[in-house]
Amino acid sequence: MSPPAGGRPPSRRAPLAGFVGVLLGSLLLPGLVAAAASASAPAAAAPQLSIAIDNGKKSVVQGDRSSYTITVHNIGTGPVKALRITQTIPAGLKLIAAQDHGKSSAGQVTWTVDLAAGASKALHTTALVQATPAELLQLATVACATASKQTRPLVCATHSDQLPAGKAAAAAAVPKAASAHSAKSHWPAILESVGATAVIAALGTMLVLRRKGAHRA
């Protein structure tokens, strides 16, 4: 078949380009749809937790045993899997036992727990108070909860016990505060006394001036 007079033969590139376009579309479309769905999907909410730690004491001395209870509560609406709970064991405390399958390493105890929505978990450790520096006033331990594969804790709590140095410092501060309060409470009486003296002096001066005026008259 001869080409039309004065024209070009029909090109075969158009059908080929259309076929390539359809092929690329079929390959790329699923990925584009998945990316769009991922971008539009809401980010997973972080777990909502509360945590507390206590040993039932306010002060300790060398040789005391401290039994700590860590209570973590899932206050969110979804379960939390592989939650990491840690408690620091500071200098001045010697770990005796980490119950509930706790593992001790590098100055802390670690547990891994699962919590259903609304559930709570209590974890326990026992430690012995050792010799502490004379200037150390408080012996503190910290408990934290961290989500799986995360490094930053979601929530933390601390408990502090007063040491003998802290107790002595508090006792020494009481007389100073009492002395300052006593001095402050004496000021009204002092001012009242000064005021009365000033009034008497003023009256005496007025009497002297009147007598001098009477003699001159």
Bigger pLDDT: 186 or 95?
95
pLDDT score of 116: 97
Residues 72, 59 share a domain: yes
- What 8-state DSSP symbol labels residue 76? S
Bigger pLDDT: 97 or 19?
97
Residues 114, 82 share a domain: yes
Mean pLDDT score of the chain? 80
Range of the domain at 102: 49-162
Residues 153, 64 share a domain: yes
Q: Per-residue confidence at 214, pLDDT binned at 50, 70, 90?
A: low
Mean pLDDT in residue range 86-105: 96
Residues 112, 197 share a domain: no
Bigger pLDDT: 173 or 109?
109
Q: Within a domain: residue 107?
A: yes
Q: Within a domain: residue 175?
A: yes
Identity of the highest mean pLDDT range in 40-44, 86-90, 173-177, 206-210:
86-90
Residue 63 has pLDDT above 80, yes or no: yes
Residues 155, 78 share a domain: yes
Residues 75, 149 share a domain: yes
Name residues whose C-beta falls within 8 Å of residue 86's C-beta, 6 or more positions apart in sequence.
108, 109, 110, 111, 143, 144, 146
Q: Within a domain: residue 19?
A: no
Residues 114, 174 share a domain: no
CATH classification at residue 87: 2.60.40.290
Lowest-confidence segment of 58-67, 149-158, 208-217 by average pLDDT: 208-217
- Exposure string of 68-82, with b = 16+ CB inside 10 Å and e = fewer, is bbbebbbeeeeebee
Q: What is the pTM assigned to this prediction?
A: 0.62
Residues 182, 136 share a domain: no
d(CA 52, CA 112): 17
Residue 65 has pLDDT above 60, yes or no: yes
Residues 182, 125 share a domain: no
Q: Within a domain: residue 22?
A: no
Q: Within a domain: residue 10?
A: no
Mean pLDDT in residue range 4-25: 57
For residue 137, report the phi and psi dihedrals to the nearest 5 degrees.
-95, -35
Q: Within a domain: residue 121?
A: yes
Residue 70 has pLDDT above 70, yes or no: yes
Residue type for position 21: G
Name residues whose C-beta falls within 8 Å of residue 129's C-beta, 6 or more positions apart in sequence.
60, 61, 62, 63, 64, 65, 66, 92, 93, 94, 139
The domain total for the chain is 2
Residues 138, 105 share a domain: yes
pLDDT score of 36: 58
pLDDT score of 1: 56
Residues 178, 145 share a domain: no
Q: Within a domain: residue 37?
A: no
Residues 168, 131 share a domain: no
Q: Per-residue confidence at 45, pLDDT binned at 50, 70, 90?
A: confident
